[in-house]
Amino acid sequence: MEFSQKLYQAAKPIINDIYEDDFIQKMLLGNIQADALRHYLQADAAYLKEFTNLYALLIPKMNSMNDVKFLVEQIEFMVEGEVLAHDILAQIVGESYEEIIKTKVWPPSGDHYIKHMYFQAHSRENAIYTIAAMAPCPYIYAELAKRSQSDHKLNREKDTAKWFDFYSTEMDDIINVFESLMNKLAESMSDKELEQVKQVFLESCIHERRFFNMAMTLEQWEFGGKVND
């Protein structure tokens, strides 16, 4: 079994939990609250900006010009390619995407996720650690979306179905490249090192779950603690 497949197998329980959590279940039914979608889009805008920067940090770690070319293309996709998915949710909210993301948010779950990825990029010379931190994002979106296509709960009369349709196909290229890179880099690593990479991958899967849940709770920093009326 290739290394990437071992990672996916280990991540299955987490992805199952994400699928059963409120965000995805309400998206399937098409009854998710506008406030949750707005908070998700605002936090995701901040996340995607940093995710794009991480692609740039990966480029110097690449040995192949083809890999560099693909990463540059992915930067362009991050800037423009997910516009359709964002617009689908913005239309449900009833505001333009540009108007929604004028309000900047940086919730704890997004903060911790981004810092997890940057730590791998800055502290590890081997690109596999950064890739392992980034790879769960497209992989989990694709897995959730593909699973939705055969789920009777997917409400085709609601616009949220289009969001699932988008991610059921649009992540395949980056997933394949991340798989190829990880499998190639894993060949020269020890079992102990590969276990560390697996840990990085699974931590990002947990961060993905917390990110979706963050939208449902409208998560914010509670610097003053919770006030009990």
Annotated binding-site ranges for substrate: 44, 141, 167
Please choose, from the candidates 180, 188, 58, the residue with its C-alpha nearest in 3D space to the C-alpha of residue 120: 58
Three-state DSSP at 122 gives helix
| 98 given a catalytic annotation | no
Binding-site annotation, residues: 44, 141, 167
| 170 given a catalytic annotation | no
Q: Of these residues, 170, 179, 203, 208, which one is catalytic?
A: 208
Three-state DSSP at 2 gives coil
Alpha-carbon 115 to chain mean position: 14
Rounded Cα distance, 181 and 57, in Å: 15
Q: Of these residues, 137, 143, 203, 205, which one is catalytic?
A: 137
**Inter-CA distances, 197 with 33, 54, 192, Å:** 36, 17, 9
E strand map for 22-103: none
Kindly report the number of other CB atoms within 10 A of residue 61's CB atom. 20
Which residues are identified as catalytic?
137, 208
